[in-house]
A and B are shown apart, each in its own frame.
Chain A
Amino acid sequence: MRIELVPRVEPKAWARALAPVAALIVSFAIAGLVIWGMGRSPVAAFDVYILQPLTDPWSLREIAMKATPLVIIAIGLSYCFRANLWNIGAEGQFIVGAIFGSWLALATYGTDAGIWVLPFMMILAMIGGALYGAIPAFLRVRFGVNEILTSLFLVYVAQLLLDYLVRGPWRDPMGFNFPQSVVFDTAATLPAIAGMGRVHIGVIFALIAVIVTLIVLGRTLFGYRLRVSGDAPRAARFAGFSQARTIITVFCISGGLAGLAGIIEVSGVLRQVQPSISPGYGFTAIIVAFLGRLNPIGILVAGFIMALILIGGENAQIMLRLPLDLALAFQGLVLLCVLSADALVSNRLRIVRARA
C-alpha cells in the first residue's frame, strides 16, 4: 500500500483561504496532546498561551513589539518568496543592519548630536542589510550558487561578527567587562508612542511596510514582474524581465527591510548592542511569511499570531513551568501544518493498495 498525492484539477478558493486557519487548529491540537502527555492540562495551557495574553493590555503591547520585527522581515521576505527565491538568511541581514545602524549611534555617543542621528541610523541599517543580502544574490547570479545555502551560512558569519564587536571594540569600558555596548543616547533611541507604554514607533514602520507592499505587489509593474518570475521564469524572459536584476533587487529589498528591523529592535527595545540581539526573528519571519500567504495583510495577522505564541510561551514558562523549547517546537509545528494544508488544498490523498 502506498499513499499518493494526486493534483486537484480545480483547487477550491475557500479551501485555500481557510487552510491557514485549519493549520493553526491542527497545530493547537497536536501541541495540546504533547502538553497532556507531559502531564499538564491542555486547557490551562491554552488559557495561558492564548487567552491571557489577548486579554491583558501589558501583554498586548509586548505582542505588538514582538510582532514589529517579525512583520517587517516577513514583508521583505515576501518579495523574495514571490519570485521563488529563497532567502533563508534574514537573521544575518537583521544583525548586519543592526551593526551598521549601531555604528552611528556609538560614533555620536555623548556628542550632543541632533535629531538627524536616528533617521541616518535607519538608512545605514537598510544599506547594511541590503548589501549583506546582495552577497547571496550576486553569488547566485554570477556563479549559480544556491542562494538557500549561502544566505543561511552568512547568518553565522554575521552572528560571529556581532559577537566580536561587542566583546572587542564596542564594549562599554565602564561596563564591568560585560560584553555589551554603552546604552544609546536619547537621540539614538527610537521614541515610544505616547500612552502605549514601551511600544515604540517601529510599529508604525511595520504598518507602512505593509501598506507600501500592498500597493507595490498589487498594482505596479515591479510587483507583476515578481509574480511572473516566480510562477514562470521563461515567461519572465519573454516579457523582457532580466532574471539577474530581479534576483539582486529582491534580495536587496529583503535584506534592507531585515536590516531596518534590526536597528528598530536595537534602538527601540534593547537600547544597546548585546552579543545576541534576536531570538531568531529572521527564522520565525519565514513562518510568518508563509502563514500569511505572502500577502501583506496576511503577514500582518500572521506576525501578530506568532508574536502571541512567543509571549504565550514566556507566560507558560513562568506559570506552568513548561520549557521555552516547547514554544519553539510549536513554531515549527505551525509551519509544518501550514505547508501540509497547502499541499492538501492543491492535491488530494489517494491510497493505492498494491495487489498481490
Chain B
Amino acid sequence: MSKTDLSASSSPKSSSGEKLVALKGITKHYGNLVANDAIDFAIAPGEVHALLGENGAGKSTLVKILYGVIEPTDGEIFWEGKRVEINSPVDARNLGIGMVFQHFSLFDEMTVAENVAVALTDLSFNAVRKRLKQVSEGYGLPLDPDRRVWTLSAGERQRIEIVRCLLQNPKLLVLDEPTSVLTPQESEGLFETLEKLAREGRAILYISHKLEEVRRLCRDATILRGGKVVASLDPRDNSAREIAALMVGQEVGDVARLPKARGHDEILQVQSLSMPARSIHERPLRDVDIAVAAGEIVGLAGIAGNGQSELFAAISGERPADEPGAVVIDGIAVGLKGIDARRKLGGAFVPEERLGHAAVPGHGLGDNTVLSHHAIGGIVNSGFIAFEKARRMAAKVVGDFDVRTPGADALARKLSGGNLQKFVVGREIVRGPKLLVVDQPTWGVDAGAARVIRQALIDLAAQGAAVLVISQDLDELFAIADRMAVIHEGHVSRLRPTGEWTREAVGLEMMGVAPQDAH
C-alpha cells in the first residue's frame, strides 16, 4: 500500500471528534413529497457506516445530494469541518467522494482500461493502465485491463467501478447495494477489500438491505424511514429482526410455511431447451431441463447475466422456442406459442424489470392490469376494453396485497419499488394461475414488501399452483423453495430438494465449479 493513515487505523472509533463529512438538517422536497426531512448524520475517517431503509425511505435522494446530483431544499454539508456546496459530481470528486452506483455506468464494447481512462482525463492511457493494475492487485480486486466489459461478470464489472473510484484516491467511498449482483464468495472478497480501505483511513458509506452483511461489516448505522432518521445504532448490538422492525416500522415476521400436499402433476416441463443468443449481450441457453409440479416452489439460483432473462423469455413465450416440446404447460406443448397462448393455459409471468417490462411507467394501475389480463377473458369484449372492470381488478390487487399507492388509479412510476413489485406479483396471482414464473421477485425491494411477496408465493403453491422462482437472493430461495437448481452460463444444474443443498454448494455452482468436479 502506497499510503497508510496510521492515526485513523490505530483508533477508528475514537476519531469521532474529527468527522470527515457531516450532514446537518438536509431536507429535500419534491412538490408535497418530503423525500428527506431534516437529516443529520456524520461519518468519521476509517468508519464503515451503513445507511439502511426501505425503498422510498430517502436513501437514494440523500446519496444523490451528497454526490451533487440533486440540490437539497435546505440543510448544510460540512467536509472536514468546513461548510461546502456540492453542485455537481465533479465537485464531489474534487472533495474526495467516490461513488459506486447500483447500476453500472460502463461501456460494454470497451476494455476495462478504456472504461477507467474515460473517467480520468488528466492521465495518459498508459499511466491509467499501470495504476489500474497496481490498485486492483493491491486491494484484492483482480481485473484484466484488456478484457472487454461485455465478457465480464457482474462482480467483475463492479470491481471496475470500485477501482475507478479508488484511482481518484477518495476519502469517502459510497456504495449503493453493492452485493445485489454478487455470489457469497464474491461478497466476502468485497468485504475484505472494504475493511482494508477503512484501515487506511478512508470512510465508507454502505447502503444495503441485507442486514446480515451490515452487521458483519459496519459498526455504525443510520436508519431512515419516511425521509427521517429513526435510529443511529451499532448494528452488532441489535438483532437483524430489531433493525428490520425499525426500517419498516412494524414487527417483521418470518414467512410461514404451510404443510402441503405436493402434487404429482407436472405443470411446467422444460425439455432440452436450447436457444441461440441473438446478440453478443445475450446468453445462449444450453439444453435446459426443468420440471415444476403442482403445489411446489422450484428455486433457480444464479448470478445475474447467466441466462435468467433469456430463460424467462423462453418459458413465458416472449421469445418462442424452435421446438414445440421444449416448453410444456399443463400437458400441452407450447414451445412455438406466444405469451398470450401460454396465459390462456393458466400461465402467469412476472419479469425482472418492474418499470418498462412488467408495467408501463406512465400508465395507471388499471391500464397496467390490462397488460397481462387482456388475453384471458373478462376485460376485453369484441375488441373494446372494459376499463372500469380493469380498475376494479387493480383495486382488488391493491387491497389484497397491501399495495400503498398515492391514489386509487396511480401511475405505475409513482409507486415505490416495493409497492409496485407487490402490485405486479399480485396482478398475476389474483387470476388464480396454475403456473407462476417469477424472475427476481424481491430484487431491490424492502423487507416488508419482500415478506408479503414471499408469503404470497408460498400461499399460491399451497393452493396447488406450480411456482418457479428465479432469484439471486439465496436467503430467499432457502426460505421458500422446495427444490432448487443453479443456472450458470445458460445451463441449469440438476434439481435437488432444498435440504440437500448447502449455501457453499450453491455458491460453487453459481461460479461454475460443480462440486463433483471440485473433488
Q: Which residues does A use to contact B, with CB under 8 Å?
A: 9-10, 219-222, 224, 227-228, 231-232, 234-235, 237-240, 242, 352, 355
**B291 to nearest A CB, angstroms?**
24
Shortest Cβ distance from B424 into A: residue = A238
A231-B380 in contact (CB<8A): no
Asked if B305 lies at the interface with its beta carbon under 8 angstroms from chain A, I say no
A239-B371 in contact (CB<8A): yes
A235-B383 in contact (CB<8A): no
Shortest Cβ distance from B358 into A: residue = A238
Asked if B370 lies at the interface with its beta carbon under 8 angstroms from chain A, I say yes
A10 and B87 alpha carbons, distance in the complex (Å): 22
**A37 to nearest B CB, angstroms?**
40
Interface string of B366-382 (1 = CB under 8 A from A): 01001110110000100
A221 and B383 alpha carbons, distance in the complex (Å): 5
B380-A228 in contact (CB<8A): no
* Segment 329-381 of B: residues with Cβ below 8 Å from A: 338-340, 343, 349, 351, 353, 356-363, 367, 370-372, 374-375, 380
A240 and B337 alpha carbons, distance in the complex (Å): 10
A219-B385 in contact (CB<8A): yes
Looking at chain B, what size class is its interface with the partner chain? 35 or more
A219-B363 in contact (CB<8A): no
29 contacts between A and B (CB under 8 A): A9-B31, A9-B33, A10-B31, A220-B384, A221-B374, A221-B380, A221-B384, A224-B370, A224-B374, A228-B363, A231-B360, A231-B362, A232-B359, A232-B360, A234-B356, A235-B356, A238-B316, A238-B339, A238-B349, A238-B351, A238-B358, A238-B371, A238-B372, A239-B371, A239-B372, A240-B317, A240-B339, A240-B343, A355-B91
A227 and B387 alpha carbons, distance in the complex (Å): 15
Residues of B within 8 A of A235 (CB): 356-360, 371
Residues of B within 8 A of A352 (CB): 87-88
Residues of B within 8 A of A231 (CB): 360-363
Q: A219-B384, A219-B385, A227-B363 are in contact. Are A238 and B318 (CB under 8 A)?
A: yes
Seed contacts A232-B356, A239-B374; 19 additional CB < 8 Å A-B pairs: A9-B33, A10-B30, A10-B31, A220-B384, A220-B385, A221-B374, A224-B385, A228-B363, A228-B371, A234-B356, A237-B318, A237-B339, A238-B339, A238-B357, A239-B371, A240-B317, A240-B340, A240-B343, A240-B375
**B500 to nearest A CB, angstroms?**
35
**A172 to nearest B CB, angstroms?**
47
Shortest Cβ distance from A6 into B: residue = B70
Residues of B within 8 A of A219 (CB): 384-385, 387
**A19 to nearest B CB, angstroms?**
17
> When A and B form their complex, which 5 residue pairs have the shortest distance between CB atoms, in order from nearest?
A240-B340, A232-B360, A234-B357, A9-B30, A240-B339
Shortest Cβ distance from B379 into A: residue = A221
Q: A235-B358, A235-B360 are in contact. Are A240 and B349 (CB under 8 A)?
A: no
A239 and B91 alpha carbons, distance in the complex (Å): 44
Residues of A within 8 A of B361 (CB): 231-232
A221 and B382 alpha carbons, distance in the complex (Å): 9
**A103 to nearest B CB, angstroms?**
34
Interface string of B283-322 (1 = CB under 8 A from A): 0000000000000000000000000000000001110000
Q: Which of B88, B317, B338, B383 contacts A222 (CB 8 A)?
A: B383
Shortest Cβ distance from B33 into A: residue = A9
Residues of A within 8 A of B338 (CB): 240, 242
A263 and B462 alpha carbons, distance in the complex (Å): 64
Q: Which residues does B use to contact A, with CB under 8 Å?
A: 30-31, 33, 87-88, 91, 316-318, 338-340, 343, 349, 351, 353, 356-363, 367, 370-372, 374-375, 380, 383-385, 387
Shortest Cβ distance from B350 into A: residue = A238
A309 and B358 alpha carbons, distance in the complex (Å): 45
Shortest Cβ distance from A353 into B: residue = B87
Shortest Cβ distance from A240 into B: residue = B340
Shortest Cβ distance from B85 into A: residue = A355
Residues of A within 8 A of B358 (CB): 235, 238
A224-B357 in contact (CB<8A): no
Q: Which of A9, A220, A242 contacts B383 (CB 8 A)?
A: A220
Residues of B within 8 A of A221 (CB): 370, 374, 380, 383-385
Residues of A within 8 A of B360 (CB): 227-228, 231-232, 235
A355 and B358 alpha carbons, distance in the complex (Å): 43
Residues of B within 8 A of A228 (CB): 360, 363, 371
A234 and B353 alpha carbons, distance in the complex (Å): 10
**B55 to nearest A CB, angstroms?**
16
**A347 to nearest B CB, angstroms?**
14
Residues of B within 8 A of A10 (CB): 30-31
Residues of A within 8 A of B385 (CB): 219-221, 224
Residues of B within 8 A of A239 (CB): 339, 370-372, 374
**A265 to nearest B CB, angstroms?**
32
**B56 to nearest A CB, angstroms?**
13
A221 and B61 alpha carbons, distance in the complex (Å): 38
A232-B383 in contact (CB<8A): no
Shortest Cβ distance from B371 into A: residue = A239
Residues of B within 8 A of A222 (CB): 383
A219 and B357 alpha carbons, distance in the complex (Å): 23
**B469 to nearest A CB, angstroms?**
18
A234 and B349 alpha carbons, distance in the complex (Å): 14
Residues of A within 8 A of B91 (CB): 355
**B287 to nearest A CB, angstroms?**
25
Shortest Cβ distance from B414 into A: residue = A10
Residues of A within 8 A of B353 (CB): 234
A242 and B338 alpha carbons, distance in the complex (Å): 9
A231 and B359 alpha carbons, distance in the complex (Å): 10
A235 and B350 alpha carbons, distance in the complex (Å): 11
Residues of A within 8 A of B30 (CB): 9-10
Residues of B within 8 A of A227 (CB): 360, 363, 367
**B323 to nearest A CB, angstroms?**
20
**B229 to nearest A CB, angstroms?**
23
A352 and B360 alpha carbons, distance in the complex (Å): 33
A227 and B368 alpha carbons, distance in the complex (Å): 11
A199 and B320 alpha carbons, distance in the complex (Å): 54
A332 and B42 alpha carbons, distance in the complex (Å): 55
Shortest Cβ distance from B32 into A: residue = A10
B384-A232 in contact (CB<8A): no
Residues of B within 8 A of A234 (CB): 351, 353, 356-357
Question: Which of the listed residues B349, B357, B361, B375 has the most CB atoms from chain A within 10 Å of its own CB?
Answer: B357
**A348 to nearest B CB, angstroms?**
12
A232 and B338 alpha carbons, distance in the complex (Å): 19
Question: Which of the listed residues A231, A239, A355 has the most CB atoms from chain B within 10 Å of its own CB?
Answer: A239
A221 and B377 alpha carbons, distance in the complex (Å): 13
**B377 to nearest A CB, angstroms?**
13
**B152 to nearest A CB, angstroms?**
24
A119 and B247 alpha carbons, distance in the complex (Å): 70
Residues of A within 8 A of B343 (CB): 240
Residues of A within 8 A of B316 (CB): 238
**B45 to nearest A CB, angstroms?**
26
Shortest Cβ distance from A237 into B: residue = B318
A232 and B372 alpha carbons, distance in the complex (Å): 14
A234 and B338 alpha carbons, distance in the complex (Å): 14
A222 and B374 alpha carbons, distance in the complex (Å): 11
A238 and B358 alpha carbons, distance in the complex (Å): 7
Residues of B within 8 A of A220 (CB): 383-385
A227 and B362 alpha carbons, distance in the complex (Å): 10
Shortest Cβ distance from B317 into A: residue = A240
**B119 to nearest A CB, angstroms?**
19
Question: Which of the listed residues B375, B380, B384 has the most CB atoms from chain A within 10 Å of its own CB?
Answer: B384
**B91 to nearest A CB, angstroms?**
8
A224 and B362 alpha carbons, distance in the complex (Å): 13
**B87 to nearest A CB, angstroms?**
7
A355 and B68 alpha carbons, distance in the complex (Å): 14
**A175 to nearest B CB, angstroms?**
49
Shortest Cβ distance from A239 into B: residue = B371
